[in-house]
Amino acid sequence: MEEFAQQVVTGVSIGSIYAIIALAIVLIYRSTSVVNFAQGEMAMFTTFITWSFLLRMDFWPAFLLTIVVAFFIGAALEIVVMRPVERAPHLNSIVVTLGLLAIFNSVALWRYGPLQKPFPDPDNWCIGDSCLEIFQGDAFTAGAVTISRLNVGILFVALMIMVALFLMFNYTKLGLAMRATALNPVASQLVGINVSRMLALGWGLAAAVGAVAGVMTASSLNLSIDMMAGILIFGFAGAVLGGLDSPGGAIIGGLSVGVFQVLAGNYIDSQIDLMAAFAIIFIVLVIRPTGLFGRRLVRRV
Amino acid sequence: MIGWVLLGLFLLFFPYLHTWPAASSFLDSVDNTTGLGIGGTFGVFQMTTLGVWLVILTGLNILTGYSGQISLGHGAFVAAGAYITAILLDQTATPLVVAILAAAIGTAAIGFAIGIPSLRLTGPYLAIATLAIIVSMPQFLKWDKVSEWTKGSTGIDLPSADVPTFLGLDRFMDDSQWLYYSVMVPAVIMTVLAWNLTRSRIGRAFIALRDSEIGAQQMGVNVSLYKTLAFAISALYAGVGGGLFAYTQDFVSPDSFGIFQSIEFLVVIVIGGLASTLGSVLAAIFFVYQDGVVLRLAELIGFPERLRWAFFGVGLILIMIVAPNGVAGLVQRLKTLRPATVLEMLRQARPSAMISRLRNHPLAERLGLGRRDEHDPGDEES
């Protein structure tokens, strides 16, 4: 039983990064119904930006600065690259995001090289002398179950992002406008919402959330240009499992993908952990075609 | 008509072109300037792989272009076909043609089996379900329980394809030419069959259910049957392609079929043109020759080698903006251009009209130069 609990905890800590990237994917899908394949590479790229900031400043200022930079990169991409294909067939926007994937990957390779770079763990949060020790220090233990501080920190960050987005979407005028845009762009335009701005904002937000995911990934692995490739696929699986239009679903979906992966590896056959995890996802999708928390698409004829 | 004859003659005599000195030096000079890679024995081999990808991409275009179902895991079907062929050739004395037919039937059955649960899924959800299949594929092939046949991660090494000695064939052609014909003949036949299929009752049913599932149902199209049929046909093509792949490469391993390859399949058919046979052909050409050309361009313009994927990405995005229906769509549009229509267009393209069009461009609006028209074409959609 304790072993099982430990597996679940390990799964949750792996899954927390999937959850953040899934959240970023959901943010873009909700506002533009585009699945952004470049999400992982954007996160990788912005993490390299953090890395170059880190040469000059402390961790948290560098982190915050990256988020701001990522926001503007995301918004700029929507305006320059995505807008021209807005009205084209749906697959075209997917191909454009794949083009972005290639561009980010190759520019990062050119600029930063193929070698792994060491990346520090985030500093603890300190105000004066009192510190919230969730990123560095000894692992937490409860019985035989242990979880590293860093993983607790990552989970905490994932939850914070979700709460912040929830508050923004549900209790601010901006959030209301963004939801309206996602639901019915034409009607939103008629009531005076600047739809184009909302779409750019959606991409900006997603890029910012992706930047957080990138930094967290780099802290738990190392920083390299291909670090997000696998994570993106699991992030996708998480987003789809939770339902592509539900931020809460993205978190739960991402965490469950991590747990599935660890449990399948331990209890079914470690050689086929991916296969087992994806078989579960496939089965869940067949039973619930729009994910666990996704809205059913009702189309008017 | 004359175009088709020329194309046929070209395909027929291509493998002998490089043995003729004048043509050979011409092909080599083309290679040196464009980086295409059509000269020499290498050129023949490139063209042979073009045939393989043509079969596979034609199949994917039936699924995605005509019936409108996205598959991000098409490589898994190709892998299934390649492995069935390779295992039969490796472990039994099956003749090649029978092995490839078995691969076709086996893969079609797998496609049908996967198509049934996928009936409930659409759009990105279907994409992820198919992605799940290709992600799991290498693990499955390396699994202990099946490695007796699949040879695990080392893969299956097949004897290289030799030209048979009967009828004195070996006096007329070398191995690479034999390989070329044994791939190109089925590839051309299957492309023509696909072209026929898409203009038949079945093809029209696919298009109908892509454009409106409910509408198609109203017209008496059995939606679930045709959706799974699209999966099965497209898997059949992938199976044949996979078999030819195993035969031409004389080697298959789990790493021959990555996720990014499957994604590239989708990218090239969108670039080539969805729901168009010409599109599939262009997609295959793009898939095979893109590498060399981009590398050559990199050399010419002088940007660093590491930026070549960025160059590729920019190319993708530009094509999508300029030709939303792929290159085949662009060709179709150009075909309708007659000198008279061009003149008419020029007459109508008054400078003032062009300026107002520029003013209405989203970027101009953003820069504060724009002027909103009283009539936004986008609003008519609802």
Read off the pLDDT of each residue in A222-244 and give the average, rounded to a whole number.
88
Is B342 found in the same domain as B321?
no
Interface probe, candidates A26, A85, A98, A109, chain B, greatest B C-beta count within 10 A: A98
Residues of B in Cβ contact (< 8 Å) with A286? 117, 120-121, 129
Query: B241 to chain A, minimum CA–CA distance in Å?
Result: 24
Does residue B3 belong to any structural domain of this protein?
A: no
For A115, residues 6+ apart whose C-beta sits below 8 A from its C-beta are A224
Domain count, chain A: 1
Is B310 found in the same domain as B253?
yes
Does residue A123 belong to any structural domain of this protein?
A: no
Kindly identify which residue of chain A lies nearest to residue B69, measuring between CA atoms: A91
Is B360 found in the same domain as B226?
no
Does residue A218 belong to any structural domain of this protein?
A: yes
Residues of B in Cβ contact (< 8 Å) with A91? 64, 70, 266, 270, 274
Q: What confidence score (pLDDT) does residue B376 get?
A: 46
Does residue A293 belong to any structural domain of this protein?
A: no
- Closest by CA position to A92, among listed A79, A77, A81: A81
Query: B34 to chain A, minimum CA–CA distance in Å?
Result: 22
Burial of B306 (0-12, 13-18, 19+ CB in 10 A): middle
Q: What confidence score (pLDDT) does residue B349 get?
A: 62
- Asked if B310 and A102 come within 8 Å (Cβ–Cβ), the reply is yes
Query: B307 to chain A, minimum CA–CA distance in Å?
Result: 5
Query: A192 to chain B, minimum CA–CA distance in Å?
Result: 14
- Asked if B274 and A95 come within 8 Å (Cβ–Cβ), the reply is no
Is B277 found in the same domain as B185?
yes
Alpha carbon distance A279, B136 (integer Å)? 9
What is the extent of the structural domain holding A266? 2-117+133-287
Is B168 found in the same domain as B144?
yes
Does residue B266 belong to any structural domain of this protein?
A: yes
Kindly identify which residue of chain A lies nearest to residue B319, measuring between CA atoms: A96
Does residue B255 belong to any structural domain of this protein?
A: yes
Q: Which of B135, B215, B317 sits opposite A96 (nearest CB)?
A: B317
- Asked if A282 and B123 come within 8 Å (Cβ–Cβ), the reply is no
Is B203 found in the same domain as B64?
yes
Backbone angles phi, psi at B130, to 5 degrees: -75, -35
Q: Which of B123, B144, B366 sits opposite A271 (nearest CB)?
A: B144
Residues of A in Cβ contact (< 8 Å) with B313? 98-103, 106
Interface probe, candidates B128, B134, B224, B305, chain A, greatest A C-beta count within 10 A: B128
- Asked if A286 and B121 come within 8 Å (Cβ–Cβ), the reply is yes
- The HSE-up count of residue B100 (CA atoms within 13 Å, CB side) is 19
Kindly identify which residue of chain A lies nearest to residue B381, measuring between CA atoms: A186
Is B107 found in the same domain as B79?
yes
How would you write chain A as a 3-class SS string? CHHHHHHHHHHHHHHHHHHHHHHHHHHHHHHHCCCCCCHHHHHHHHHHHHHHHHCCCCHHHHHHHHHHHHHHHHHHHHHHHHHHHCCCCHHHHHHHHHHHHHHHHHHHHHHHCCCCECCCCCCCEEECCEEECCCCCCCEEECCEEECHHHHHHHHHHHHHHHHHHHHHHHCHHHHHHHHHHHCHHHHHHCCCCHHHHHHHHHHHHHHHHHHHHHHHHHHCCECCCCHHHHHHHHHHHHHHHCCCCHHHHHHHHHHHHHHHHHHHHHCCHHHHHHHHHHHHHHHHHHCCCCCCCCCCCCCC
Residues of A in Cβ contact (< 8 Å) with B311? 106
- Of B291, B307, B326, which marks where a domain is finished? B326
| Residue pairs spanning A and B at CB distance below 8 A | 148
Alpha carbon distance A101, A51 (integer Å)? 20
Q: Between β-strands A130-132 and A140-142, what pairing exists: parallel, antiparallel or unpaired?
A: unpaired
Does residue A297 belong to any structural domain of this protein?
A: no
Q: What confidence score (pLDDT) does residue B337 get?
A: 72
DSSP state of B275: T
Is B238 found in the same domain as B375?
no
Does residue B1 belong to any structural domain of this protein?
A: no
Domain count, chain B: 2
Does residue B332 belong to any structural domain of this protein?
A: no
Q: What confidence score (pLDDT) does residue A108 get?
A: 93
For A186, residues 6+ apart whose C-beta sits below 8 A from its C-beta are B378, B379, B381, B382
Does residue A189 belong to any structural domain of this protein?
A: yes
Residues of B in Cβ contact (< 8 Å) with A189? 379
- Asked if A274 and B309 come within 8 Å (Cβ–Cβ), the reply is no
Residues of B in Cβ contact (< 8 Å) with A240? 124-125, 128
pLDDT digits (tens, 9 = 90+) for A196-227: 999 999 999 999 999 999 999 898 888 998 88
Is B219 found in the same domain as B364?
no
- Asked if A91 and B64 come within 8 Å (Cβ–Cβ), the reply is yes
Query: B156 to chain A, minimum CA–CA distance in Å?
Result: 20
Task: Report yes or no: B175 and B160 within 8 Å, Cβ to Cβ.
Answer: yes
The CATH number covering residue A207 comes to 1.10.3470
pLDDT at A80 over 50: yes
The CATH number covering residue B190 comes to 1.10.3470
What is the extent of the structural domain holding B108? 15-326
Q: Between β-strands B251-252 and B156-157, what pairing exists: parallel, antiparallel or unpaired?
A: antiparallel
Residues of chain A with pLDDT > 70, as a percent, come to 97
- Asked if A289 and B125 come within 8 Å (Cβ–Cβ), the reply is yes
- Asked if B312 and A90 come within 8 Å (Cβ–Cβ), the reply is no
Q: Which of B144, B274, B308 sits opposite A91 (nearest CB)?
A: B274
Interface probe, candidates A91, A225, A287, chain B, greatest B C-beta count within 10 A: A91
User: At B74, which amino acid appears?
Assistant: H
DSSP state of B159: P
Cα A86 to chain center, whole Å?
A: 23
Query: B297 to chain A, minimum CA–CA distance in Å?
Result: 16
Q: Which of B214, B267, B270 sits opposite A301 (nearest CB)?
A: B214
Kindly identify which residue of chain A lies nearest to residue B265, measuring between CA atoms: A95
Is B300 found in the same domain as B171?
yes
pLDDT digits (tens, 9 = 90+) for A155-208: 888 888 989 988 998 899 998 998 888 888 889 999 999 999 999 999 999 999
- Asked if B366 and A79 come within 8 Å (Cβ–Cβ), the reply is yes
Residues of B in Cβ contact (< 8 Å) with A196? 362, 366
Q: What confidence score (pLDDT) does residue B54 get?
A: 96
Is B153 found in the same domain as B193?
yes
Query: B191 to chain A, minimum CA–CA distance in Å?
Result: 23
Interface probe, candidates B287, B312, B316, chain A, greatest A C-beta count within 10 A: B316
Does residue B45 belong to any structural domain of this protein?
A: yes
For A241, residues 6+ apart whose C-beta sits below 8 A from its C-beta are A249, A253, A256, A257, A281, A284, A285, A291, A292
Is B355 found in the same domain as B314?
no
Total residue length of chain B:
382
Residues of B in Cβ contact (< 8 Å) with A21? none
- Asked if B310 and A290 come within 8 Å (Cβ–Cβ), the reply is no
Alpha carbon distance A15, A251 (integer Å)? 9
- Closest by CA position to A199, among listed A99, A116, A75: A75
The one-digit pLDDT tens for each residue of chain B (382 residues) are 788 899 999 888 888 888 888 888 888 888 888 888 888 888 899 999 999 999 999 999 999 999 988 888 899 999 999 999 999 998 888 888 999 999 999 999 999 988 888 788 888 888 888 888 888 888 888 888 888 888 888 888 888 877 777 777 777 788 888 899 999 999 999 999 999 999 999 999 999 988 888 899 898 899 899 999 999 999 999 999 999 999 999 899 988 888 888 988 999 999 999 989 999 999 999 999 988 888 888 888 877 878 888 888 998 899 888 888 889 988 888 877 777 777 776 666 666 666 666 666 666 665 655 544 444 444 444 4
For B2, residues 6+ apart whose C-beta sits below 8 A from its C-beta are none
- Of B292, B307, B326, which marks where a domain is finished? B326
Query: A138 to chain B, minimum CA–CA distance in Å?
Result: 35
- Asked if A110 and B267 come within 8 Å (Cβ–Cβ), the reply is no
Does residue B7 belong to any structural domain of this protein?
A: no
Does residue A281 belong to any structural domain of this protein?
A: yes
Task: Report yes or no: B215 and B208 within 8 Å, Cβ to Cβ.
Answer: yes
User: At B199, which amino acid appears?
Assistant: R
Total residue length of chain A:
301
Does residue A292 belong to any structural domain of this protein?
A: no
Does residue A223 belong to any structural domain of this protein?
A: yes
Burial of A283 (0-12, 13-18, 19+ CB in 10 A): exposed
Query: B342 to chain A, minimum CA–CA distance in Å?
Result: 25
Query: A153 to chain B, minimum CA–CA distance in Å?
Result: 29
Alpha carbon distance A207, A201 (integer Å)? 10
Q: Which of B142, B313, B325 sits opposite A99 (nearest CB)?
A: B313
Read off the pLDDT of each residue in A254-273 and give the average, rounded to a whole number.
87
